[in-house]
Structure 1
Amino acid sequence: MSRIRAARWAEHAAVTAVIADALLPSALVEWLVPEATQRGRVVADVAAIWVEHAFVHGEVYLADGTEGVAAVVVRLHRYRAIPPPEMDGGRVVDAADEHAAHVALVDALILSHRPTEPHHHVVCLAVRPSAQGVEWGRALLDHVCRRMDSVEAPSWTVVLPGGRDLFASAGYTAGRQFTVPGGQTLCPMRAASGAGGDARSAAETAGNRGRMSP
């Protein structure tokens, strides 16, 4: 298993690379950036805006694998007022080029589903494709849930369909799904304060019931 630790600012490019690698195969990214030759650069540049924002207004954790950073989780502290990321104006235009309108549309759709009350915002949990299947995502989510339990506030995220079961196992419940142009379905998910700890306790109890006594 990997070592989980807080990411350093100097590692923001490595964090962004993991997010881009994990998102590239999705239908969402294919619609955002139809040109395959530009897709990796655009996704990485836009993801970098959110990663840098989280270094200032939240937390970034990573899992060290045998071949570098294997997985990352990006979280914002929305239980206090924070400014929006620099998604408007010159920077996102520079990052997304002619695809800026698509990026802005998806951002606006996600914003329309985000809670207005104070909450923890899990912006992204990403596992590098070559590192999937080793439960690094599970370990990172458990870690960040424990940290969120220290501040009494609900947690919220938006996931691709493949991420629903992982977050559900950590105590999140799915909200009403929505579809972006291009056909990709996104699912808002929410957990009450402390739900992650409750889900972990239930899983541990179930696991203990399944073991034979010594």
Structure 2
Amino acid sequence: MHPTITRAEASDAAWTTDLITRALEGHAPAVWLIPPRDRRHAILSRAIRTAVDAALVHGEVLCTPERNAVAVWLAHGAGDAWPTLPGRWDARVDAITAEFRDRFGRLATLLAAHHPAEPHHHLLFMAVEPNRRGEGLGSALLRAHHARLDAEGIPAYLVSGNPAARDLYARHGYRAADPLLLPDGAPFWPMWRPSRPGTPETTRN
């Protein structure tokens, strides 16, 4: 039986941000971005909240009713809302990241240089509560949005800094490019998924 997937609302922003922050703060890219461990959660959380708020208005945030898994999507391409967002997003993140803004800027520049020009949906974040991993929640989140993308002939894109997550995405049809490396060697894998009309997914995480 597949878990129920629903669309998040503005009232879900706080728990969504907290879950994503906890999922990412121990990964190598986050450690490079914000070296002081005692400050990492607070700064990362505020930056992530900015992206979540944008996606709740201009994109799609999918979650489980039990609030134990979430996926944050934005559309990129002609006619969608994304081109109006970066200036406001950059200004908010610049204020949040303080002395680490140079590192955030270097990461943003690296990712932007490799972002596909073709219209697509971008998976910004996906996170599952640690005690619920392995139950298929991440796969259910992906299947729910992929069904829409495949019906409309839209590809998907993401960048993963976690090898385990990279492998999950690969099982759902994403193809990894060569990793992008931060100055300390921490890798990010750009991943692209062509639309797959008429091909239902069955993969579990």
Instruction: Report if TM-score (shorter chain) is over 0.5.
Output: yes
Per-residue deviation, 1:111: 1.2
Q: Structure 1 unaligned runs (5+)?
A: 204-214
**Cα separation, 1, equivalents of 2:153 and 2:143:** 16
1:140 is paired with a residue whose SS is: helix
Normalising to structure 1: TM-score of the pair?
Answer: 0.85
The corresponding residue for 2:90 is 88
**Cα separation, 2, equivalents of 1:109 and 1:99:** 16
1:158 is paired with a residue whose SS is: strand
Question: Pairwise mapping of residues 45-124 of structure 1 onto structure 2 (< 5 A)?
Answer: 45-65=46-66, 69-80=67-78, 81=80, 82=82, 83-85=84-86, 86-89=88-91, 91-124=92-125
Per-residue deviation, 1:114: 0.9
Give deviations 1:112-131, integer Å, cap 9, x for gaps: 11111111111111122233
Question: Pairwise mapping of residues 1-214 of structure 1 onto structure 2 (< 5 A)?
Answer: 2-65=3-66, 69-80=67-78, 81=80, 82=82, 83-85=84-86, 86-89=88-91, 91-160=92-161, 161-194=163-196, 198=199, 200=201
Per-residue deviation, 1:146: 1.0
Counterpart of 1:194 in structure 2: which amino acid? R
**% identity of equivalent residues:** 31
The corresponding residue for 1:209 is none
Task: Tell me, yes or no, if the aligned pair for 1:5 and 1:62 is still in contact at 8 Å.
Answer: yes
Counterpart of 2:70 in structure 1: which amino acid? V
**Cα separation, 2, equivalents of 1:129 and 1:106:** 26
2:159 is paired with a residue whose SS is: strand
The corresponding residue for 1:210 is none
Per-residue deviation, 1:33: 0.8
Q: Structure 2 unaligned runs (5+)?
A: none
